[in-house]
Amino acid sequence: MSIEQGRWLHERYELSLSELCELSGLSEPELRVLVDFGAIAPNDPDAGQWIFSAERLVVARKASRLRRDFDLDPQGLALAVALLERVRDLEEQLRDLRARIPGGS
């Protein structure tokens, strides 16, 4: 059985706007609204050609699923994604704090 090699979705692995669209299933206008609303940030928002860290693909794919499954308009989608990212950040902080508590889990 051959062994498949993958790539970590990580900040050193970068995607162009069109690659991010193709891999997530979002259209370019949809992705632009998500960027405008701060739900997905390119590495340099002022750059002529947006480049995204591959970690953003996780968020873009989530946005694509939510749009499809909840039939959300672009603004509603951007709001939902931004709030879910906030929840994810808070869960990460919670995990970090728990890891620092002696005897914690």
Residue ranges binding another protein (CB under 8 A): 1-10, 12, 22-23, 25, 54, 57-58, 61-62, 65-66, 69-70, 84, 92, 95-96, 98-100, 102-105
Which one, 8 or 46, has the nearer CB to another protein? Answer: 8
Cβ–Cβ under 8 Å, residues 51 and 85: no
Smallest distance, Å, CB 16 to another protein?
15
What is the distance between the alpha carbons of residues 21 and 2, in angstroms, rounded to a whole number?
30
What is the distance between the alpha carbons of residues 70 and 79, in angstroms, rounded to a whole number?
13
Smallest distance, Å, CB 85 to another protein?
11
